[in-house]
Amino acid sequence: MGADDPARTRRRVEHEVARLAGLVGLPQERWPGFVDRDAGYPFLRIGDAGEYRYLAYERGRLLFEQVTSDLDELLYWAFRDAAHEAAGRWASRNRLDGEPFRVTLWRRQFELLHTLRPAWAGRRRAELIASLPDRDEGIVPPLPGADC
């Protein structure tokens, strides 16, 4: 890998982040970026060997770090979290009577991810179901366009 490859790779990632964020109207300050803001905010990094890193620090301590060589995987991680944050803000303003907040949030997150890549919405839904006690699928809303 040449000396300018990490910079070229970063520009390619930044372009794709901007394109995807634009599709769902994500404000630029909420885009996944390359700046470590600490305080637990995840950010992106291109490693020395060209690998993609998604990580977060809080008070200088590493909270998590995920590493992949697959750009789609990096983008999924970043937009899964960005869509969750955006969906939380949306759900707090658009409460549905009788529906738990998290269900409204998940529904909106699935809509955002589906707009970006339908497979991402399905993947996130499967992750949520797997994380629930007894894998209670009934509380997780269907995917956009799914017959209920």
| Per-residue pLDDT tens over the stretch 33-61 | 999 988 999 999 998 888 999 999 999 99
> For residue 121, what are the contacts with CB-CB under 8 A and spacing of at least 6?
110, 111, 113, 114, 143, 144
β-bridge mates for residue 39, sequence order: none
Contact between 30 and 85 under an 8 Å Cβ cutoff? The reply is: yes
Q: In 1-148, where does DSSP find H-type helix?
A: 5-23, 71-93, 101-116, 118-131
Residues in the chain: 148
b (16+ CB within 10 A) / e for 32-66: bbeeeeeeebbbbbbeeeeebebbbbeeeeeeeee
pTM of the model as a whole: 0.91
pLDDT per position as a tens digit, 89-141: 999 999 888 999 999 999 999 999 999 999 999 999 999 999 998 877 889 99
